[in-house]
Amino acid sequence: MSILLQLVEGGNAVADTTASGGGGAMDILGLIWKGGVVMIPIGILSVIAVYLTFERYFTIKKAGVLDSQFMSDIKEMVQGGDLKSAQRLCHDKGTPIGLMIEKGLSRIGKPLKDISVAVENVGKLEVYKLEKGMAILATISGAAPMLGFLGTVTGMIRTFNQMQDSGQQITADLLSGGIGEAMMTTVAGLVVGIFAYISYNLLSNMVNKVVYKMEATSVEFLDIMHEPA
């Protein structure tokens, strides 16, 4: 009998712990919701920032892939006069580097300066594509904290107005509760802003690495054009 009572008491303790944990989660969600309408644009900005971060990451990572044998194959095909196969190889790669070299191959027979300009123009276009959405991330990194501060200020004004209208005596609990809710927007805005800021800098560094590879490959390609047939 005593064993049965112990089991029942243990089950009740677990149930109480689970209930208290669920209540804590609901309290957090409720506190976030009480942050006001400013939490809506901050939430939208957070979704955009997360989406852009992952979308740009995989796009830039794919663009930076460079086969170590790629330029050797291109050189062999060019020197062998098989330009069609070289262009097909570049097209199949589908990377910014491949598209640059494909454009340069299509200009073979024209002055070297024209080939260089064509490669450079394609390179600039591909870099522009890689940086697509980066300006939005930079904007979110600055706008989200500002929205958070705006929500805090308006929330504190609303809290003081409610206390004034109620005519109640201002207590520490009443004041801290209202300010705590208002500060939620600042926390949310800072979290989103920091995430967007870090993402922007990491992605910019990845783009710079891809640009370096593009420049090095274009120079290598122009060197091949310089070599005697």
Q: What is the pTM of this model?
A: 0.77
Percent of the chain with pLDDT strictly greater than 70: 74
What's the token pair of residue 20? 């208290």
What's the token pair of residue 144? 């989200």
| Weakest mean pLDDT among 51-65, 119-133, 142-156 | 142-156
186: which residues sit within 8 A by CB, 6+ positions away?
145, 148, 149, 151, 152
Which pLDDT score is estimated for 68? 80
Instruction: State the residue for tokens 């919701």.
Output: 33
Instruction: State the residue for tokens 């967007």.
Output: 196
Q: Domain segments of the chain: what residues?
A: 65-130
Which pLDDT score is estimated for 19? 41
Answer for the pair 163, 174: CB distance below 8 angstroms, yes or no.
yes
**What gap in Å lies between CA 169 and CA 136, rounded to an integer?**
46
Average pLDDT, the chain: 80
